[in-house]
Amino acid sequence: MPFTLPLFPEAASTMAGRVDALYFYLLAVSAFFTVLIFVMVLAFAVRYRRSRHPVPVEIEGSMPLEIAWSVIPLGLAMVMFVWGASVFFALNRPPRGALEIYAVGKQWMWKFQHLDGHREINQLHVPVGRDVKLTMISQDVIHSFYVPAFRVKQDVLPGRYTTVWFQATKPGSYHLFCAEYCGTSHSGMIGQVVVLEPAQYQLWLAGGAGEGSLAAGGQKLFRDLACDTCHRGDTGARGPDLAGLFGKPVTLQAGNKVVADESYIRESIVNPAGKVVFGYQPIMPTFQGQISEEGLLQLLAYIKSLEASKTAVPAPAAAPPVPAVPETRKTR
Ligand code: CUA
């Protein structure tokens, strides 16, 4: 709906209309009852004023009244609940095939990394008409990614990935705010989401990413940190094979399973002893504090990009019992 009230942010995403409709419903219900209550207060004040002092008739119980004031609010609240839940789920479940972008919040800026290796600060370029999913983390305190024109807001937390998704419907430049008080320059932690036509977006992409893709950056880190000495994918490797790991269930030492998602992979790097894969020794050193959040996201992109090895070896994730290798770790 074309809304030009200057108090109201522009609507520029596929979810904006749904969020607004729910908002107007809440507003209408609140306004209706506010007006009703005030009108009643005034009407009764006039009708039963002291100079006329008519004595009101006392009512002793009324089934229709009881039912009316129970059932009507219940109905109104259930509409809020079901409608709100459906919008909430739609906002919180990124569609498959969305364009993946990674974001790191810090005091006091937004840093974005695109899969092709483009990096931006306080600016985010996205194509119009395409689902975009942001995987976000903070390297210090809690921030919140807020784009009013898209009607999306999601807290960005230290030590934990959160996601937000949107599909922009109109090319243009939209405000990006931090919506969680995060220190002295919180109000300066602002930026822009620049929505481009597909052709312009391709042009922007072609404008030189510099250092190769995000996954390639991760691969380089993987080698530099010597991860590949243990995570090699052959039998006898001291660490689990990471090929084809992402999104698959992993059996842990205690016999329970976890899905190898973003959080699991991040935890396995910064706190490897937390969830040791069944059949392996807890020999991996922690990398806590040694890799930046951006580096961790690069490693994540690299691990996600690893296809399951096409060689005959059965996937180790499914058949973990590699013989427990005695502690023969060399010093790095
Ligand atoms: Cu970051 Cu407020």
In the chain, where the domains are located: 8-47+63-210, 214-309
* Mean per-residue pLDDT of the chain: 83
Can you name the residues that pair with 174 across neighbouring β-strands?
Answer: 193
Instruction: Report strand pairing: 191-196 vs 123-127.
Output: parallel
β-sheet bridge partners, residue 176: 191
Average pLDDT over residues 124-135: 94
172 Cα–ligand 1 center, Å: 24
What pLDDT, on a 0 to 100 scale, did the predictor assign at position 308? 60
Pocket of ligand 1 (CB under 6 A): 105, 108, 143, 178, 180-182, 186, 189
Cα distance between residue 193 and residue 167, in whole Å? 12
Report the distance separating Cα 112 and Cα 134, nearest Å: 9
DSSP H or E stretch at residue 219: helix 214-224
Task: State residue 267 phi and psi, 5-degree precision.
Answer: -60, -40
User: Could you tell me which residues come within 8 angstroms of residue 296 by beta carbon, excluding any fewer than 6 positions away?
Assistant: 137, 266, 269, 270
d(CA 328, CA 331): 9
Find, among 295, 290, 253, the residue nearest to 275 by Cα: 253
Other beta carbons within 10 Å of 112: 22
Q: Return the ligand 1 atom nearest residue 187 CA.
A: 2
- Look at the alpha carbons of 98, 89, 8, 141 in this order and tell me if their dihedral is positive or negative: negative
pLDDT tens digits, 147-204: 999 999 999 999 889 999 999 999 999 999 999 999 999 999 999 999 999 999 988 8
Give yes or no for residue 251 having a pLDDT over 60.
yes
Domain 214-309: CATH class, spelled out: mainly alpha
**To the nearest 5 percent, what fractions of the chain are helix, strand and coil?**
35, 20, 45
Please tell me the class of the 8-47+63-210 domain: mainly beta
| pLDDT reported for residue 167 | 95
> pTM of the prediction?
0.75
Give the number of the atom of ligand 1 that is nearest the alpha carbon of residue 183.
2
Compute the distance between CA of residue 59 and CA of residue 155 in angstroms, rounded to an integer: 51
What is the mean pLDDT of the segment spanning 23-43? Answer: 95
Report d(CA 279, CA 133) in Å as an integer: 35
| pLDDT of res. 329 | 41
**pLDDT, tens digit, for every residue of 254-269?**
888 888 888 888 888 8
Residues in the chain: 332
In ligand 1, the atom with minimum distance to the C-alpha of 141 is 1
